[in-house]
Amino acid sequence: MQPLAGRVAIVTGAGRGLGRAYARALAAAGARVVVNDVGCGLDGRGADTGVAAAVVEEIRAAGGEATPSLEPVGTVAAGEAIVRTALEAFGRLDVLVNNAGITARHPIEAFPEDAWARIVAVHLTGTFACARAAFATMRTAGRRGRILNTTSGAALDHVYPGTAAYAAAKGGVVSLTRVIAAEGAPHGITCNAIAPLARTRMSTAFLGAEDEEPTALDPAALGPLVVYLASEASAGVSGAVFTFRRGRIGIGRLDVREEIAPRDAGWTLDELHARLPMLLGPAG
């Protein structure tokens, strides 16, 4: 039996790259899929309804069930509309994959406010808005739902100059994931995040991923991990951040080093000058 038979999944940003790979993998595992994508450019501008429609047709051609959603993520109203599409088309919701993303690269002193707002709206507010609507639906229906968010190495262990809005939003997604996991625990709703590295238009444009071995960065390679986290088999996994790079799966953590010995009397400036470099280590 297919691991997701009878389940309904939403994938945002499902028209290209990772989202397309996730939607196809979930459908192949038996899920009925809402393919959400406004078809915008990498900077969040423009729209193309054919992007989501093409993935829906791919899924249907392979024997699966899918329906398009053209809502642009980034508002509570949009999150509710996307969830409503799942309920109207398939009658239930079991899985949400927050994948939609845009970006733009600017130095911090010249980062346009409108670009900042667009990026944060899609990555952080969009993740919140869709999770908010999905969580309420799952809890009310008594479903052991699965919410899967997308973060980035830019929020964990890599620094890419010019990506202030993207990195900040993805850092917020990590914290949001942990809070949703804690709130979902009493209801059997899990929430995890993936920090993927794959060959997509975003990675190609900003990270030079086109120089990598093509098969090593195929978005389809992440499909099994997404299916697992969407399934009943992952019931005991929540609040985790998974990294996926060139076929290697890891756990993403913030780097917290050992504390220096506490002092009841507090620290003097001279003592901090002497001891803090020891805490920071070579990277400091």
DSSP secondary structure string for all residues of 77-124: HHHHHHHHHHHHHHS---EEE----------GGG--HHHHHHHHIIII
* Of residues 165 and 206, more confidently modeled: 165
Q: Where are the domains of the chain?
A: 8-258
Average pLDDT, the chain: 88
Predicted pLDDT at 92:
98
Tens-place pLDDT, residues 228-271: 999 999 999 999 999 877 777 888 766 555 566 666 778 888 88
Q: Which of 173-177, 209-213, 250-254 shows the highest mean pLDDT?
A: 173-177
CATH classification number, 8-258, choose in 3.40.50.280, 3.40.50.720, 3.10.450.50, 3.40.50.2300: 3.40.50.720
Catalytic machinery residues: 166, 170
Query: For residue 213, is pLDDT > 80?
Result: no
In 3D space, the residue among 230, 200, 187 whose CA is nearest the CA of residue 23 turns out to be: 230
Query: For residue 97, is pLDDT > 80?
Result: yes
Percent of the residues in the chain that have a pLDDT greater than 70, as a whole number:
87
